[in-house]
Amino acid sequence: MTSSPSVRELPLFPLPEVVLFPNQSLPLHIFEFRYRMMINTVLEEDRTFGVLMWDSERNRPMNVGCSAKILQYHRLPDDRFKILTVGQQRFRVLEYTRETPYRVGLVEFIDDNPGDDSPYLLATEVRELLDDVVRLSQKLTEQEIELPQIPRSPIELSYWIASNFHGASGEQQALLETQDTAARLRREAEILSSTRSQLAARTVLKETFNE
């Protein structure tokens, strides 16, 4: 296979229940010997490796993941590492070129395809739904929720929202694999709308019993 800028070999790090998205940070504690070897190698090269969610049902990594760049690292005395990475680009594994001591794959980087729907209107809807969810959550917990700076670009917003669906790694993986920004935002709008309805119902209950 001829290589191109969108195809390269990449060391791969499968992680259970973890889906990394572009521009999102991922701190990691590297303790297994084979992955300590991998990080040592990566630090000598371009500090980039691939993160794949481990599919526990099929006992293998998923086929689509995200490359991670090491921003900071701390080598512990026993050669374990604490590292801070940031997601860069999504990829699809074309084939595994090595299995030991750690997996290396030939990967193809993937981008979103231009869709028919305008992602900008959907991004506005998603931001409004997020505001409602935060407001209702604050009302229920009686605690202030501080949000970081929320991305304005539709694609970056879609990644940021997806990365915050904690505890729903299957849904996150599906969003990572989606190659249409508008489709990703539509699905996120559905999830946020459902969450808003549940929170609104709980708020009504709370107010009823507190009267």
Residue 95 included in any domain: yes
Query: Helices 119-141 and 181-210 meet at what angle, rounded to 10?
Result: 20
Kindly state the tokens that stand for 49. 């490796």
Domain endpoint, select from 74, 109, 144: 109
Same domain for 40 and 133? Answer: no
Query: What pLDDT sits at residue 1?
Result: 37
- What distances in angstroms separate CA 41 from CA 71, 102, 152, one per listed residue? 15, 11, 36
Same domain for 68 and 129? Answer: no
Same domain for 132 and 200? Answer: yes
pLDDT > 80? residue 3 = no
Same domain for 91 and 126? Answer: no
Residue 2 included in any domain: no
Give the CA angle between residues 134, 153, 160 to the nearest 5°: 45
pTM, 2 dp: 0.90
Residue 114 included in any domain: no
Summarize pLDDT for 116-138 with one digit per residue, the tens: 778 999 999 999 999 999 999 98
Same domain for 13 and 105? Answer: yes
Summarize pLDDT for 32-59 with one digit per residue, the tens: 999 999 999 999 999 999 999 999 888 9
Summarize pLDDT for 76-97 with one digit per residue, the tens: 988 899 999 999 999 999 999 9
pLDDT > 60? residue 2 = no
Task: Transcribe 13-60 into DSSP letters.
Answer: EEEET----TT-EEEEEE-SHHHHHHHHHHHHTTSEEEEEEEETTTTE
Averaged pLDDT for residues 8-37: 96
Query: What pLDDT sits at residue 211?
Result: 53
User: What b/e string do you get for 95-112 counting C-beta neighbours within 10 Å, with b at 16 or more?
Assistant: eeeeeeebbbbbbebeeb
pLDDT > 90? residue 145 = no
| Residues above pLDDT 70, as percent of the chain | 94
Residue 203 included in any domain: yes
Same domain for 69 and 98? Answer: yes
As a whole number, the mean pLDDT across the chain is 91
Please answer whether residues 60 and 21 qualify as being in contact, where contact means their C-beta atoms are separated by less than 8 angstroms: no
Residue 59 included in any domain: yes
Averaged pLDDT for residues 188-199: 94
User: What b/e string do you get for 115-142 counting C-beta neighbours within 10 Å, with b at 16 or more?
Assistant: beeebeebbebbbebbebbeebbeeeee
Q: How many domains does the chain have?
A: 2
Same domain for 44 and 100? Answer: yes
Query: What pLDDT sits at residue 5?
Result: 59
pLDDT > 80? residue 181 = yes
Domain endpoint, select from 109, 132, 166: 109
Same domain for 76 and 140? Answer: no
Give every CB contact of residue 116 below 8 A, 6+ residues apart in sequence: 182
For 74, the domain range is 7-109
Domain endpoint, select from 80, 109, 138: 109
Please answer whether residues 66 and 48 qualify as being in contact, where contact means their C-beta atoms are separated by less than 8 angstroms: no
Task: Transcribe 74-99 into DSSP letters.
Answer: EE-TTS-EEEEEEEEEEEEEEEEEE-
Same domain for 22 and 105? Answer: yes
DSSP 168: -
